[in-house]
Structure 1
Amino acid sequence: MHVIALSINYRKASVDEREQLNFSDHDIVPALHTLRDQKSILEAVIFSTCNRTELYVVTDQVHTGSYYTRNFLSEYFNIPLETVKNVTELKVNDEAIHHLYRVAAGLDSMVLGETQILGQIRDAFILAQEEHTTGKIFNRLFKEVITIAKRGHSETDISKNAVSMSYAAVELAKKIFTNIQDVKVLVLGAGEMSEETLLNLTSNGVSDVTVVNRNRDNGKQLAERYLGQFRPMDELEDALKDTDIVISSTGAPNFIITEEMIKRVRNLDDERSLILIDIAVPRDIDPNVNNVNNVHHYNVDDLSGIVDDNLKKRKEEAKKIEAMIDTSIQEFLNWVEMQGVRPVIEAMRTKALNIHETTFESITNKLPDLTKREKTIISKHMKSIINQMLRDPITYTKELADERKGAVQLTELEHIFGIESIVEDIHKRQHESLQAIDKLRKEKQNVRK
């Protein structure tokens, strides 16, 4: 089994390129099943955020799995395969696992130590589990990754003065306006990023805030929570006339604020600056708004240059999390290696217990007058003998997980202990279990269609 991570992130892909390979919420489920059904792919998890799209798969062949994972993106978004190769980072096995840990802990984010992505990874994993596109490997790996990421944020100071894209947007606004407390801010959207933006704004003394959102109820609730005003989307143009800063983070597929809209709300001789900060992917604001006099537009790539005062401290805290990650990865890899020898160990124990039951039954038949206490003592000592006899063979078998020729030696052990048929039954049960899960996944997929 091999783990592959295919990443489209801010380091290698521009905002335009990330937008082209971004899955909307309603795309994820069908995409998961399409990816899982690719040749050589056994498990799959997908998540898409404002700054990255990540695909994780378990495959039985590295080259085949890598090709079909990239080809899936190419066909799904109708983009040339060569383009996909140019804008993606492909990591395999240990590197892929290490990448997942770092992403979940916020160590691979544009703003070091962000916490928002952990929840997104957790949600993506839970969805994949519910859709039965994960199995034994990812069920174990993602749970370990989420646990370590949580520990990293709770046991270190990396989350102090938490930095996110919304935080960076407010920091940019503070650099532009000397007295940010006096400006009028319009927040476009009512999701988690918008709430973080409002929290950062109000924490910096901004009191004149307006929330514009397509969903009236969500927008009103968010505005009221931060003592702001709410205006529906059809009043956006009017709201822009009396705004100094716009910070936008919706899930809209197309531009909400266009160059034509800004031209309509701005006078040619308007000397008042309008700052438009777009932290959404896909983008909410047409970059051509920069053509309008005294209008300044920034997107997520522009925010990458903003580094908070605690960056050095965060890097020191990140080293602590890296140490946690290294330990956890080693434990996970040990667990993976053990999966190959577990059927043999289970078979040894199964045969030993069968011998114990048969022998104990023979003893009780020949000695019918044994008391309950005497039977318990005899059974206990028989099990003790068996456990002592198996201790060294089981230890030796576990050590074979690290051996290159382990498969040959495992076969020899099966012959020595006469457990070939038991091992075969165990593998058969495992295979039937995987088939049942796959059948359930496909049935659920067909029902949805």
Structure 2
Amino acid sequence: MKNYHLSRHPSFYAVGLSYKKADAALRGKFSLDIPKIDALILDAKSQGIDGMLVISTCNRTELFGFAQHPYQLIKLLCHHTEGTVEEFQDVAYVHKNHDAISHLFKVGTGLDSQILGDFEIISQIKQSFYRSKKNEMTNPFLERLCNSVLQASKRIKNETELSSGATSVAFASVKYILDKIPNVKDKNILLFGTGKIGRNTCENLIKHTGNNHITLINRTKEKAEAFGTKFQLSVKDFGELQTEIRKCDVLVVATGGQLPTVSKAIVHNKKPLWILDLSIPKNVADDVMELDNVTLVHLDQLSQVTDETLERRKKFVPHAERINYEVKKEFVQWLETRKFAPVIKALKEKLKTLKEEELDFHAKKVQDFDSEQADLVSDRIIQKITKQFANHLKRSEVDTEESLQLIQQVFQLEINPE
């Protein structure tokens, strides 16, 4: 691992915080929207960090990248968010090299999700990789790692029932509505925010309640209209938010705003109102709880929802972990191969130089020397020799570092660090 790519970046780190230790308020301080992610990646690039993956969801914020010390990544995160280093250190985790790789596999396959088997995260990892690629901050290691995690995720979906049924924040919110709110089919529902979580919640509501009294509001009305047309839902302007809240029985808030939009000041409902805040950071101010007829439920409370299907999923965890182990093992083998590839390449070049010297010598000394045939035979021998060395280095019982040094010394190889 330490030899990967550039010597000035000896270790691969994962630094982050999640729902396990950080509550919604603290996670909100460290959340990153797309402009902030781009700014952080470009900042990392300017500091010479080679490769960066940034994941920011409602449940976690994590940075993966190569650095001399994890504090480089922690400092970047704190600089581009509202959180402080002290706050981060109280709840943070830092994983290095193989532990960081294992962590990404666990996160990407729903084994570390707030709701077990929640596979929303894999699409977020894909988006994170595309953002890094757009900013020219990926490398072969990160690309191969993300593809391997994606492969493990697909296998777990196909070979286990870890993700049987709906498992997501959207599922948890709809389950809460179905369990807690009577006659939900006849209730007026307002969805504020039509991002991915909002859309998924809305689709689940329509599917499980048969309710068509759903109104959509989004800061960008066009996005709400594009989604609303699909399900023939009413769409209102952002300026009508206060009026529409007054009409509704259930308000689902799933926005990406950095500050609360819904507060006590704009809620004037005389009838009971249930508010589900699916946003990180929170987009509903705590002061709405001062109102007698309002019930406010936040994401972290929703994520505690469990039922028989979630309990059943736990049985498939060992199988999912075995798949992760298998795919991760293949990735590590590729990594080891990549580690010695420059030495094998240099060895091949050295043998070709020796070959050319010998062929040139014999061409001058031997009459009617068949240079073409000799060249062909020599290349085949070189291929077999380098393959023997490569196979030796791949063996698990071999000390790769020691063998690489010996090969370099014996053949006096010059290795290009790139």
TM-score strictly above 0.5: yes
1:292 maps onto 2:296 in alignment:
no
Where does residue 150 of structure 1 map in the other structure?
Answer: 154
Offset at residue 94 of structure 1 (A): 2.0
Which amino acid in 1 is paired with 2:329?
A: Q
Q: Given that residues 157 and 317 in structure 1 are in contact (C-alpha distance below 8 angstroms), is that contact kept between their aligned partners in structure 2? A: yes
Which of residues 392, 405, 408 is equivalent to 1:396?
392
Q: Given that residues 338 and 401 in structure 1 are in contact (C-alpha distance below 8 angstroms), is that contact kept between their aligned partners in structure 2? A: no
Instruction: Report the CA distance shift for 1:400/1:346 in structure 2 as closer, same or farther (over 3 A).
Output: farther
1:33 maps onto 2:32 in alignment:
no
Which of residues 14, 19, 28 is equivalent to 1:5?
14
Which amino acid in 1 is paired with 2:340?
A: V
Which of residues 406, 414, 418 is equivalent to 2:408?
414
Where does residue 278 of structure 1 map in the other structure?
Answer: 277
1:117 maps onto 2:118 in alignment:
no
Where does residue 18 of structure 1 map in the other structure?
Answer: 27
Q: Deviations over 1:143-191 (max 9, x none)?
A: 2122222332233333331211111111101111233222221111122
Structure 1 segment 318-333 matched on structure 2, within 5 A: 318-333=317-332
Q: Given that residues 153 and 159 in structure 1 are in contact (C-alpha distance below 8 angstroms), is that contact kept between their aligned partners in structure 2? A: yes
Say which structure is richer in helix.
1
- 1:369 and 1:351 map into 2 onto residues whose CA distance is 23
1:67 maps onto 2:76 in alignment:
no
Task: Tell me the secondary structure at the aligned position of residue 56 of structure 1.
Answer: strand
Where does residue 382 of structure 1 map in the other structure?
Answer: 378
- 1:224 and 1:201 map into 2 onto residues whose CA distance is 16
- 1:316 and 1:400 map into 2 onto residues whose CA distance is 32
Q: Which has the higher contact order (CA 8 A, sep 6+)?
A: 2
- 2:388 and 2:179 map into 1 onto residues whose CA distance is 67
Q: Given that residues 151 and 327 in structure 2 are in contact (C-alpha distance below 8 angstroms), is that contact kept between their aligned partners in structure 1? A: no
Q: Given that residues 20 and 77 in structure 1 are in contact (C-alpha distance below 8 angstroms), is that contact kept between their aligned partners in structure 2? A: yes
Which amino acid in 2 is paired with 1:66?
A: P
Which amino acid in 1 is paired with 2:230?
A: R
Offset at residue 138 of structure 1 (A): 1.6
- 1:229 and 1:357 map into 2 onto residues whose CA distance is 77
1:49 maps onto 2:57 in alignment:
yes
Which of residues 69, 83, 87 is equivalent to 1:83?
87
1:212 maps onto 2:211 in alignment:
no
TM-score by length of 1: 0.83
Q: Given that residues 24 and 280 in structure 2 are in contact (C-alpha distance below 8 angstroms), is that contact kept between their aligned partners in structure 1? A: yes
Instruction: Report the CA distance shift for 1:13/1:38 in structure 2 as closer, same or farther (over 3 A).
Output: farther
Where does residue 254 of structure 2 map in the other structure?
Answer: 249
Task: Tell me the secondary structure at the aligned position of residue 50 of structure 2.
Answer: strand
Q: Given that residues 362 and 369 in structure 2 are in contact (C-alpha distance below 8 angstroms), is that contact kept between their aligned partners in structure 1? A: no
- 1:189 and 1:78 map into 2 onto residues whose CA distance is 23
Q: Deviations over 1:277-304 (max 9, x none)?
A: 0001122211221111121001111112
Offset at residue 387 of structure 1 (A): 4.0
Where does residue 313 of structure 1 map in the other structure?
Answer: 312
- 1:284 and 1:388 map into 2 onto residues whose CA distance is 64
Which one is further off, 67-76 or 48-57?
Answer: 67-76
- 1:31 and 1:84 map into 2 onto residues whose CA distance is 17
Offset at residue 390 of structure 1 (A): 4.4
Which one is further off, 134-143 or 168-177?
Answer: 134-143
- 1:164 and 1:391 map into 2 onto residues whose CA distance is 48
Structure 1 unmatched ranges of 5 or more: 431-449
Aligned residues: CA RMSD: 2.4
Which amino acid in 2 is paired with 1:281?
A: I
- 1:200 and 1:394 map into 2 onto residues whose CA distance is 53
Offset at residue 247 of structure 1 (A): 0.9
